[in-house]
Amino acid sequence: MIKGGIKVLNPYMPYPVRIDEIITETEDRNLKTFKFVFLNPGDEEKFSYRAGQFAELSVTGKGEIPIGIASSPTEKGFVKFTVNKVGLVSSYLHSMKVGDIMGIRGPLGNSYPWDTLEGKNVVIIGGGFAFTTLRSSIIFMLDPANRKKFKNINVIYGARSPGMLLYRDELAAWEKRDDINMHITVDAVNDPDWKYNVGFVPAITEKKAPSADADTYAIICGPPIMIKFTQPVLDKLGYGHDQIIMSLENRMKCGIGMCGRCNIGKEFVCKDGPVFTLAQLNATPREY
């Protein structure tokens, strides 16, 4: 019972969801994709999101974790998140079963700058398990209603080995399309039948990424080491720092810019980000 006071929507209250499907994505079994269905019919609409946003997955009794939304706004009836098994909440989540009840709070954060990207060439550069919101973006752009809004789409995506690539069926399907240029790569491979690239993401970027012009934007998402070595490549290819778009991660609790821990300077990664241009990041302390 709430006694007195004004009516305010509670941004800390998650929408209750049921786990509808769990897919083990990688050969090390550390990455699973969870497909959630909202328990209350109206909640899916309230959770209307854009590619690049994230949500707090709320495992009742354990806590919350901020995870990028892997499904696309064009996919209806469910939301998907791919979760790496790391800490208390994510480890427990990995032990949960189809049918279990938990919560989702969001959508949170900004998104990739879709208004800016419209009418542009988009180069997506991803590494490891940081491919989740990039998957959301690709599905979104390839949707028949959206594809004509973008010019060339190039995707450079690398993992340690073929078995560590996420969404392998979808990658294979995108390879066959002529409206997206896929450049899949692995650090090393034993399989003689491997038909894609071998090499680190920065090297493949240097070979395959289109050179920069005013109409070309790169979205980079990956481990710090990949970003560190890819950025000089993009510089060499002539990308301006406001044409390089990055999505950050930091420890978060509230997800709405209030609890104080995820800031980089005056910006909160949770609310003002997680997506920033490199030009923006150049002006803030690198506390991520």
Binding site residues, other proteins, CB under 8 A: 1-6, 8-14, 16, 39, 58, 60-65, 86-87, 90, 100-103, 224, 249-251, 253-254, 256-266, 271, 283-285, 287-288
- The smaller minimum CB distance to other proteins, of residues 103 and 158, is found at 103
Closest approach of Cβ 56 to other proteins, in Å? 9
Contact 12, 40 (CB under 8 A): no
Closest approach of Cβ 130 to other proteins, in Å? 12
Closest approach of Cβ 80 to other proteins, in Å? 20
Q: Which residues of 154-167 are buried (b: 16+ CB within 10 A; e: fewer)?
A: bbbbbbbbbebbbb
Token pair for residue 51?
A: 């590619």
Contacts of 69 by beta carbon, 8 Å cutoff, 6+ apart: 49, 51, 53, 54, 55, 79, 80, 81, 106, 107, 132, 133, 136
- The smaller minimum CB distance to other proteins, of residues 156 and 275, is found at 275
Write down how long the chain is.
288
- The smaller minimum CB distance to other proteins, of residues 13 and 172, is found at 13
Question: Which CA distances in Å does 257 have to 152, 262, 277?
Answer: 35, 8, 19
Closest approach of Cβ 255 to other proteins, in Å? 9
Taking the C-alpha atoms of residue 25 and residue 37, their distance in angstroms, rounded to an integer, is 20
Closest approach of Cβ 107 to other proteins, in Å? 12
Alpha-carbon torsion (68, 71, 76, 79), positive or negative: negative
249: β partners: none
Residue 2, CB half-sphere, CA atoms under 13 Å: how many? 6
135: β partners: none
Closest approach of Cβ 251 to other proteins, in Å? 5
- The smaller minimum CB distance to other proteins, of residues 155 and 221, is found at 221
- The smaller minimum CB distance to other proteins, of residues 154 and 263, is found at 263
- The smaller minimum CB distance to other proteins, of residues 39 and 172, is found at 39
